[in-house]
Chains A and B, each alone.
Chain A
Amino acid sequence: LDHGYALHTAAKDCLSSVLSQDVQIPAERPRAVFYTNETDPANHTEQHEGRHYSIPLEEVKAVFPHGLPYRFQQQVKTFNEACLMVRKPALELLTYLKNSNFAHPAVRYVIYGERGTGKTMTLCHVVHYCARQGWLVLHIPDAHLWVKNCKELMQSSYKKERLDQPLQASSWLKNFKTSNEHFLKEIKTQQKYVWGKRESTEQGRPLGEVVEQGLARVRSASDAVGVVLKEIKQQCHLGSFRVLVAVDGVNALWGRTTLKKEDKSPVSPEELTLVYNLRKMMMNNWNGGAIVTTLSQTGSLFKPSSAYLPHELLGKEGFDALDPFVPVLVPNYSQREFESCYHYYLHRKWLQHEQARTEAGKEELRFLSGSNPQQLERLAGPL
């Protein structure tokens, strides 16, 4: 059934796709139609829409030390390969990035959509592309982690009213180190930074030292993060490297927090060093890169679960801060994408139930999941 269906859709593809690309299709036929051998996101076009491409596992560890959603990480571990579907919003973003002029101020892209439609995965796709292209990637996996559930809040040594979060800052620095090793040696500090009585970083030292400092002295980790961001912002307009700021759950930066100071008064996001520095990064007063963000309702605080539009989740403050931006909507799976995902699971023998392999089973899955990627993934789990 699989091969018959594969042939049928391959025939349809032949008719509808661009003629020049025709030659590629027969070469890809040995694998099922819903895969593509093109592992470089730079070459992904509309022809690859709806197909899965795999990322080698070492790259996954290097590029996404902390970026992928938890369930996807489990899936990667189970299947022993990381396969990402190429979808239209991601392709749109990639074309924008390819055609963007880096002399202009950084453009902000906001990926939004209902719950479980694949915003984080789109972001990861873009991050992978930029990593392949050799950009410096500042990937914050979930900004919501910085505004809630913080065990240690310290008063910042740099500015009295601000609060530090050593744990989150140090974990982020660690992951930043693994993802952008070679940049840390290239970029040099342009200023002297004093961390305490005995520690300081001279001007002209590689940024790696700042990161080491932050990791070693956890108390000053948040300040180290601030320094890293400032340096990158100052130097990226020189043009030696491009910067991608990828933030997941950007609405956390402008919402409320669940943290409280010692006198039980609520903390507003500006009072957190990490958030403050990140907000400066999100301004479009620098050029030579792009800012891609995702809105997330799942981790958001004090927002109704039916909210998914930018102005609802960002609030007035956030919307004004991010305005103007390019919104990118991520919808549920289309017919093709659903079929592709279904056949992928079938191919990897994830759907074990006999009825799941029939047409009726596929229709049932489509109905019950409502073509929502998250629902489909959860449904396919027990089968």
Chain B
Amino acid sequence: TLRLIYTTTAAWKKNVAASGPEKYTEAFIKKQIEEFNLGKRHLANMMGEDPETFTQEDIDRAIAYLFPSGLFDKRARPMMKHPTEIFPEQRKIQWGEDGRPFHFLFYTGKQSYYSLMHDTYEKLLNVQKHQDQLAAQDLPPQKEKKNLVGSRWLTKTELEEMLLEKLSDDDYSRFIQLLQKLVMMPCGNIEENYIKKFSREISAQLQKVVIEPLKYDEQGVAFSTGEGARKTSRATVTVYDNGTGKITVNGIDVLHYFPVLQDREQLLFPFQFLDRVGKHDMVCTVSGGGRSSQAGAIRLASAKALRSFVTEKEVESMRQAGLLTVDPRVKERKKPGQEGARRKFTWKKR
């Protein structure tokens, strides 16, 4: 079998549910739940809160207060949660005392999967019967199609969690095809409730970046603000309209603050791109980082501020030019056993 290396960590998570019959007995889980509830009341008493109305968020806060941890991974920190969240669901033993299995499809091996397919096909046949009835009565079939755009089917892992047993890709695709067929049929709306169990809503569109409208100060001059960051520098910028191209940084003129031409060219770039070189005044405050990163931060901030002055198409072109993207490059960490982030120690043959 191939051992996948270049995958995400999500693929390595063991699907404990499907691995085998229960490792924790039911009695054990019940005891854990009782202990949890008792512990919750004790914790509420300790914190001086009301035990009856002590929610999970309160528990989390109390634990974080009592056991402060500096570990980076949140999952490694001490936690107190309901046992059902900690101990994953497992299949109960599926045969009785006499050895006879409860479910009729046990000997297929994937009993829940096949029972699911069975049920779904039953629904399909129902729908077909309904359709035939309508056709026999010469009534036009209902055409209210459920909108599939905002929803998606369950993923394989989600289905596995639901069924508590492992699936293969082939099985999964067959199930999805069946669901599709069910929905495609004209009278599929009857079984909507059933189908809803297997579809998830895709959250609303990616958050559209809101462009703030222009603000006007006392003299009636339009201005807008923007913030930008690069490496360790943070910059805030106000761009005023009807200007001459004068720029002030931290109260100092731009020629004195950035004597190097390269930095001034960085500041020039957003204005030059929009052909508004001498038209705006700018007042900036910047802190942190070195001269180049400060220049980059101010550039990003001014580009963000200029969005309010400019049409949407130009905003799109700015985005494509890379004026609005935060530069993700930061200083790489030095590793032990090496002199720097990449540089190794001098290699001596002996």
Contacts and interface: CB of A to CB of B under 8 A. Distances in A.
Interface of A: 306, 360, 363-364, 366-368, 370, 372, 375, 379
Contact of A379 (B245, B261, B275, B278): B261
20 contacts: A306-B256, A360-B275, A360-B277, A363-B245, A363-B277, A363-B278, A364-B268, A364-B277, A367-B245, A367-B268, A367-B271, A368-B261, A368-B265, A370-B253, A370-B254, A370-B255, A370-B264, A372-B255, A375-B255, A379-B261
Nearest to A365: B277
A372 B255 CA distance: 9
B272 A364 contact: yes
B255 A367 contact: no
A45 B211 CA distance: 52
Contacts of B278: 363, 366-367
Judged by DSSP, the binding face of B is: helix
Interface string B265-283: 1001001100101100000
Interface string B243-257: 001000000011110
Contacts of B265: 368
Nearest to B271: A367
B264 A368 contact: yes
A368 B265 CA distance: 7
Interface of B: 245, 253-256, 261, 264-265, 268, 271-272, 275, 277-278
Q: Which of A360, A363, A366 is most buried by chain B, counting CB atoms within 10 A of its CB? A: A363
Task: Classify the interface of chain A: helix, strand, loop or mixed.
Answer: helix
A278 to B, nearest CB: 31
Nearest to B275: A360
Contacts of B277: 360, 363-364, 366-367
From A306, A368, A372, A379, residue with most partner B Cβ within 10 Å: A368
A360 B279 CA distance: 12
A366 B264 contact: no
Contact of B264 (A306, A360, A363, A367): A367
Given A363-B245, A367-B278, 18 more contacts: A360-B272, A360-B275, A360-B277, A363-B277, A363-B278, A364-B268, A364-B272, A364-B277, A366-B245, A367-B245, A367-B268, A367-B271, A367-B277, A368-B261, A370-B253, A370-B254, A370-B255, A375-B255
Nearest to B264: A368
A363 B261 CA distance: 15
B251 to A, nearest CB: 12
A355 B166 CA distance: 66
Contacts of A367: 245, 264, 268, 271, 277-278
A364 B272 CA distance: 7
A364 B269 CA distance: 10
A306 B256 CA distance: 8
Nearest to B268: A367
A372 to B, nearest CB: 6
Given A306-B256, A379-B261, A368 B268 contact: yes
Nearest to B245: A367
Contacts of A372: 255
Give me the 6 closest cross-chain CB pairs, A-B, nearest first.
Answer: A363-B277, A370-B255, A363-B278, A368-B264, A367-B268, A367-B245
Contacts of B254: 370
Contacts of A379: 261
A353 to B, nearest CB: 15
Nearest to A379: B261
B273 to A, nearest CB: 11
Nearest to A363: B277
A152 B264 CA distance: 43
A370 B256 CA distance: 10
A360 B268 CA distance: 12
A363 B275 CA distance: 9
Nearest to A332: B255
Contacts of B264: 367-368, 370
Contacts of A370: 253-255, 264
A360 B274 CA distance: 11
B274 to A, nearest CB: 11
A183 B254 CA distance: 48
A253 B59 CA distance: 77
A379 B264 CA distance: 12
A167 to B, nearest CB: 33
Contacts of A363: 245, 277-278
Nearest to B255: A370
Contacts of A375: 255
Contacts of A364: 268, 272, 277
A379 B261 CA distance: 9
A360 B245 CA distance: 13
A363 B268 CA distance: 10
A329 to B, nearest CB: 15
A365 to B, nearest CB: 10
A346 B344 CA distance: 53
Contacts of A366: 245, 277-278
A364 B270 CA distance: 12
A375 B272 CA distance: 19
- Most B CB contacts (10 A, CB to CB) among A366, A370, A379 go to A370
Nearest to B244: A335
A368 B267 CA distance: 9
A334 to B, nearest CB: 11
